[in-house]
């Protein structure tokens, strides 16, 4: 069923009796050409692009729980391409371009809203660093603007511009950045993949991999063995658990990142704002809630919930920047599990096992990468060579000395 404005009106006039389930619920086949482990944003996007852009068939997505029930449903929905390094910026700009055409491409309303993102500047050194980053972005075809203190004040006059420790001196702005309705991204990709014949198999946990003579033969699941010529793993958060089935140890630690939403307010922030120095970033949802977050808790965790010290830290950051929110009540807090890699950058690569491919290590930047991650992973799986924007995301880059360390923190995952 194709969605359109006409269709909505026609259904409204006939009591909404014509809507059908958006995707099938198939039983697993004995064998596929491609199995994608993980029915989140990246896994569903991979299956969608494998079918649509790379003309492949006999594809299944295996999901332990329900589609979109992991990090694609737990993030703070921001899209941007404001990276510095050559290994990253072309990839994220590719992703942002895909976001810009996504809804037409998969015929689903994902509420892509390019409302602009600003990164606040507090010192001369930070302005130099952001100027450099903005220039790097523009060299790769992205947009970037340096805003003065007065320009920021025009946008958000109620910010605390004269905080004693971090006075606001300006901002780096990317107008094409913004927010997206995160669940709709998973649903749109799922529907698009299903329409092209991909089997989306839920409640199907992978419990092992069958590897013979260094080649993948299929996966053991809670619904029996399923054979496959190629298997792609896109389970960020649980990458170490799944790749251990293939005997691999990864340069990844799992950490919990918390997020927050306040009660609904009248329009206050029309874009996205990051206050990196204060470990705080915020946007406002279309329902009016302030959606915000800060740093990861900082210790290994698979718990999908964090602890109170980080909640306090984030609330303090918010109060330092926006004293006006002092009496706003918090509606919900939650946590998601991040693949924190050793240099803060992701992996899209082959593995030593022939036919087994790995996608993970997204740290807390996985959502914005969803379209390009799916496209590049599909490219790698279909053609056995990396997409031109994802050549740096190698698993062996630490051994070769080719880290992509945006923050220059070294092998300390909780500092990226």
Q: Which residues bind another protein (CB under 8 A)?
A: 238, 240-241, 249-254, 298-303, 307, 309, 342, 398-399, 411-414
CB 334 within 8 A of CB 293: no
CB 322 within 8 A of CB 159: yes
Q: CA–CA separation, 175 vs 142, rounded Å?
A: 10
From the CB of 189, what's the least distance to another protein, in Å?
27
Q: In terms of CB distance, is 387 or 397 closer to another protein? A: 397
Among 67, 35, 40, 357, which Cα is nearest to 198's? 35
From the CB of 257, what's the least distance to another protein, in Å?
14
Q: CA–CA separation, 282 vs 297, rounded Å?
A: 18
Q: In terms of CB distance, is 158 or 302 closer to another protein? A: 302
DSSP letters of 286-333? TTSEEEEEEEEEEEE--SS---HHHHHHHHHHHHHH-GGGGGPPEEEE
From the CB of 169, what's the least distance to another protein, in Å?
30
Q: In terms of CB distance, is 44 or 243 closer to another protein? A: 243
Element (H, E) at 199: strand 199-201
Element (H, E) at 130: helix 124-139
Q: In terms of CB distance, is 56 or 301 closer to another protein? A: 301
Q: In terms of CB distance, is 82 or 238 closer to another protein? A: 238
Instruction: Enumerate the β-bridge partners of residue 259.
Output: 293, 334
Among 358, 408, 361, which Cα is nearest to 381's? 358
Q: CA–CA separation, 50 vs 46, rounded Å?
A: 6
From the CB of 302, what's the least distance to another protein, in Å?
4
From the CB of 399, what's the least distance to another protein, in Å?
5
From the CB of 299, what's the least distance to another protein, in Å?
5
Q: In terms of CB distance, is 2 or 400 closer to another protein? A: 400
Among 209, 230, 206, which Cα is nearest to 46's? 230
DSSP class of residue 113 equals B
From the CB of 150, what's the least distance to another protein, in Å?
38
Q: In terms of CB distance, is 56 or 345 closer to another protein? A: 345
């Amino acid at each position: 069923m194709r969605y359109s404005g006409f269709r909505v009106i026609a259904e409204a006039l006939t009591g909404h009796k014509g809507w059908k389930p958006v995707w099938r619920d198939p039983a697993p086949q004995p064998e596929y050409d491609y199995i994608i482990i993980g029915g989140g944003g990246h896994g569903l996007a991979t299956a969608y692009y494998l079918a649509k852009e790379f003309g492949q068939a006999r594809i299944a997505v295996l999901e332990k729980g329900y589609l979109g029930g992991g990090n694609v449903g737990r993030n703070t929905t921001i899209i941007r391409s404001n990276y510095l390094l050559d290994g990253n910026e072309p990839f994220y700009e590719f992703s942002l371009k895909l976001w810009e055409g996504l809804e037409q491409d998969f015929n689903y309303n994902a509420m892509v809203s390019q409302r602009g993102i600003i990164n606040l500047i507090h010192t001369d050194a930070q302005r130099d660093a952001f100027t450099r980053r903005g220039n790097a972005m523009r060299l790769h075809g992205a947009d970037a603007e340096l805003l003065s203190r007065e320009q920021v004040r025009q946008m958000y006059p109620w910010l605390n511009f004269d905080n004693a420790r971090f006075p606001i001196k300006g901002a780096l702005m990317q107008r094409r950045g913004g927010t997206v309705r995160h669940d709709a991204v998973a649903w749109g990709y799922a529907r698009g993949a299903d329409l092209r014949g991909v089997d989306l198999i839920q409640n199907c946990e992978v419990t092992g991999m069958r590897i013979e003579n260094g080649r993948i033969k299929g996966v053991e699941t809670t619904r029996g063995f399923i054979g496959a010529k190629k298997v792609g793993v896109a389970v960020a958060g649980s990458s170490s658990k799944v790749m251990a089935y293939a005997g691999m140890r990864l340069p990844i630690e799992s950490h919990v990142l918390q997020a927050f939403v306040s009660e609904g307010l009248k329009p206050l922030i029309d874009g996205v704002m990051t206050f990196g120095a204060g470990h705080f970033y915020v946007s406002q949802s279309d329902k009016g809630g302030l959606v915000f977050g800060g740093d990861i808790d900082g210790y290994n965790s698979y718990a999908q919930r964090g602890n109170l010290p980080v909640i306090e830290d984030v609330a303090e950051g918010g109060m330092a920047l926006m004293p006006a929110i002092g009496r706003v009540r918090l509606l919900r807090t939650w946590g998601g599990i991040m693949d924190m890699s050793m240099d803060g950058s992701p992996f899209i690569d082959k593995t030593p096992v022939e036919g087994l491919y790995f996608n993970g290590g997204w740290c807390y930047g996985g959502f914005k990468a969803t379209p390009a991650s799916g496209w590049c992973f599909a490219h790698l799986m279909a053609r056995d060579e990396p997409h031109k924007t994802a050549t740096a995301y190698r698993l062996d880059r630490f051994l070769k000395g080719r880290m992509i360390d945006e923050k220059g923190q070294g092998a300390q995952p909780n500092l990226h």
